[in-house]
Chain A
Amino acid sequence: MISGLLGFLAANAAAALGAVAIVRRIGTGRPCVDVVLVLLVRLLLISTAVAAAGWTGLLRSGVLGLAGVAALAALLAAGVHRGLPRVRRPDASPWVLGLLGFAALRLLAQTWFFSPHLGDALAYHLPKVAEWVRAGAFTREMGLHPHVTFPAGFELVETWWVVFLRHDVLIEMAGVEFLGLAFAATFALARWIGLPERGAWLAATAYLLCPGLHLSATSCLNDAAAASLVVATAALVAWRVHPALALTAVALGAGIKATALYPMAGIAGLAFLVRKEESLPCGSPRGAVGLAAAAMAVGGSWFVRNWAWFGYPAYPVGSPGYESSPVAVQAGPRGSSLIGNARALLDERIADRAAALGANVDYMAGWGALAFSLGLIALPLVMRSNPRFRRLGAAFLGGLACSLLLVIHDPWCLKYVFYFPAVLAVGAVALIEAAPALGRIAAVAIAVDVLASTLPYDLPASHLAGLARQPWSTRSALQADLPPGEPIGCFGGYPVPAYLLYGADFGRRVVYLRASTADELHDAMRREGITRFYARPTEGPDESIVRRVVETGLLVPEADGVYRRASE
């Protein structure tokens, strides 16, 4: 653990210093834009390192740690650490700085005490991370959920936060990194429309505390990451940086989730609307093109892999029979989705009144109190008076319409547009600049957002207390006690929270059982040498298979979802 921790620290320092060194070469000279680029390039370096290690079978703490130490030594020898900008007190209200400090500490506490618990994360995002860490390489086995083959750019960053320590206690930091990018990008957008630095700090803080985005960041879902890359792309396009740098953000987003691409028509519209504005210089256009190429390689690798392994770049989307899957996502535009999603947003969900908020924002938008009370009215009012905000608002509205056209109308559809509250936060602060009396409303609204972004509905205080009471080294949302280290089978299709079976230290081998009859299931257990398996089928053929094997006496139910093979 100690050598892993040292490697982890060295590699993180190297990724940060490496990003600084690269942005010194390709940077724009505009601090608010260059900060966005540093965070973006750091994420690209991390993603590239994990992807390269994964494809070459070197995804191990020792290898990455040594590489990190070597890279850090080289960067220090080259003197990159000299000339780092001195930290100065930002020109922000003490209240805003205090709020930011509180939010940062709370994010650390959330990272420490939260444990992966959301269905999609446990069923298809994280099992592949566990398989990769255990194998030290990318694996073809990624779990039972049909979506395990979806692009895994966010999982690369999650893997970075777990592989050194071979433990998932810090896994939520991946989302926190992207939240930092969202903050910096909103700051850059606020500066671009002409807000003073104080206002930009407030706007960025308000977006950071947007409840849906904030809770998504520590949920191990990738929607906050996708949103942050949309906002970063908008900021880079608005400031007219070298197109390859904006393309870097787009390509990273494509490798995280297709929904990051959906609003890009709006962002392209922004590029058109600002085409006559002066562009920012780029220290090295060739370097910028190199970054874009690397991002496209990392982001596009999932589609190449799927095409090579399964015959469809976006597999299983597009494959025969996928449309009838109970978890099928929409492929292509659908007018009925646009109408259904837009009506749901405006008629009800925008008010966030259905339940407590969470990363999935069930039947809600998750945009928060500031967006609802000030951001919405600011949109037309600031668009009529600020030409740059007019373009930005039009671009985000266009992007929103595209997103709503392309995502299926379901209770969770608005988690795919977490980027939109960024423009509402910027607009709200611009409105406060024009009418300072609104500042008091904003203060109360942000306080409400702080409250609403503390705990997700799926991890209320009582559950969190249960997690907090567990030792950090074994903290897990799994209800059942499993014999330590013993391999376990996993059966039951997409609803199974498979990730929990690996343990926080990825110490347990999980064997995915694919069977269409009771005999096949029992044979598979015997063949794999498995004495226990975990299944949570509640309906359908999987449930009847488990029931049949239990009825025949071959399996004995042990605990919640755990079955033991009867002794023979």
Chain B
Amino acid sequence: MAAEDAARSPRARRLELAAAGGLLLWRALAVPLPVLWRDAAAWVAVAWALAVLVRDPRRRSGALTAVAAFLLGLYVQGQAPHALRALGLLP
């Protein structure tokens, strides 16, 4: 991924940023603001923008890990109680 990034032209980067920004804007308009923080598509846009903006592979990996961990937390918070209840592990 790093090699492909280095070869990417500034114009291509700007286009990608515009696409990610457009996705984020669309979600901001489509989803009520109080729940935008848990909108998966909005976080995809954030991850995309970070991947374009952060060129250092280690920092980029860290940023993506943070986004993925947040999304995983969201999923677990929403689904895990139901799954545990179905398994009889929660009342």
Judged by a CB distance under 8 angstroms, whether A431 is at the interface is yes
Spot the interface stretch: A302-310, A373-381, A517-525, A539-547.
A373-381
Interface string of B20-57 (1 = CB under 8 A from A): 10000001001100000011110110011001000001
- Chain A min CB distance to B69 (Å): 6
Beta-carbon contacts under 8 Å, A352-389 to B: 352-357, 369, 372-374, 376-377, 379-382, 384-385
A-B pairs with beta carbons under 8 Å apart, 19 shown = A346-B39, A346-B40, A350-B40, A353-B77, A353-B78, A372-B74, A373-B68, A373-B72, A381-B47, A381-B64, A384-B16, A435-B57, A436-B61, A448-B75, A448-B79, A451-B84, A455-B87, A457-B82, A460-B85
Judged by a CB distance under 8 angstroms, whether A69 is at the interface is no
A347-B30, A435-B61 given; 8 more Cβ-contact pairs under 8 Å: A347-B31, A351-B75, A377-B48, A435-B65, A441-B69, A451-B84, A455-B86, A460-B88
Judged by a CB distance under 8 angstroms, whether B18 is at the interface is no
Give the interface of A toward B (CB within 8 A). Answer: 343, 346-347, 350-357, 369, 372-374, 376-377, 379-382, 384-385, 431, 434-438, 440-441, 444-445, 448, 451-452, 454-457, 460-462
Contact between A456 and B86, CB atoms less than 8 A apart: yes
The docked-state distance in angstroms from the alpha carbon of A432 to that of B41 is: 20
- Chain A min CB distance to B45 (Å): 9
Give the interface of B toward A (CB within 8 A). Answer: 1-2, 4-5, 16, 20, 27, 30-31, 38-41, 43-44, 47-48, 51, 57, 60-62, 64-65, 67-69, 71-72, 74-80, 82-88
Contact between A369 and B44, CB atoms less than 8 A apart: no
The docked-state distance in angstroms from the alpha carbon of A438 to that of B1 is: 14
What does DSSP make chain A's interface, helix, strand, loop or mixed? helix
- Chain B min CB distance to A70 (Å): 46
- Chain B min CB distance to A351 (Å): 5
Residues in A neighbouring B67, C-beta threshold 8 A = 377
List of 4 A-B pairs having minimum Cβ-Cβ separation, nearest first: A353-B78, A461-B88, A373-B72, A356-B86
Of A379, A435, A436, A451, which is within 8 A of B83 by CB? A451
Minimum CB distance partner of B64 in chain A: A435
Contact between A438 and B64, CB atoms less than 8 A apart: yes
Contact between B79 and A452, CB atoms less than 8 A apart: yes
Residues in A neighbouring B16, C-beta threshold 8 A = 384
Contact between B88 and A357, CB atoms less than 8 A apart: no
- Chain B min CB distance to A333 (Å): 22
The docked-state distance in angstroms from the alpha carbon of A163 to that of B5 is: 57
The docked-state distance in angstroms from the alpha carbon of A557 to that of B67 is: 59
Minimum CB distance partner of B70 in chain A: A373
The docked-state distance in angstroms from the alpha carbon of A352 to that of B71 is: 12
Of A351, A352, A377, which is within 8 A of B47 by CB? A377
- Chain A min CB distance to B3 (Å): 8
Contact between A454 and B72, CB atoms less than 8 A apart: no
Of A346, A376, A455, which is within 8 A of B71 by CB? A376
Contact between B62 and A437, CB atoms less than 8 A apart: yes
Residues in B neighbouring A441, C-beta threshold 8 A = 65, 68-69, 72
Residues in B neighbouring A455, C-beta threshold 8 A = 86-87
Residues in B neighbouring A445, C-beta threshold 8 A = 72, 75
The docked-state distance in angstroms from the alpha carbon of A351 to that of B68 is: 13
Contact between A351 and B40, CB atoms less than 8 A apart: yes
